Amino acid sequence: MLKWAAIFALIALVAGLLGFSGVAAGAAGIAKFLFVLFLVLVLAVLALAAFGVKALRR
């Protein structure tokens, strides 16, 4: 997922440099959304790893 966020960020940069502002805005929006989703999932997995493993061992 982080890979896709980086790809869309790169597309946004290239489109912005070439003057395609609509495409750049769309790609940047997708990249931001995927990055935030990636961060939320990482935090959820870390929280489950910290608390969930101890709960399963009881």
pLDDT at 55 over 90: no
Question: Looking at per-residue confidence, does 56 or 30 come out higher?
Answer: 30
User: Does residue 47 have a pLDDT over 90?
Assistant: no
Q: How far apart are CA 9 and CA 32, in angstroms?
A: 8
Mean pLDDT over 15-39 rounds to 89
Average pLDDT value for residue range 8-22:
86
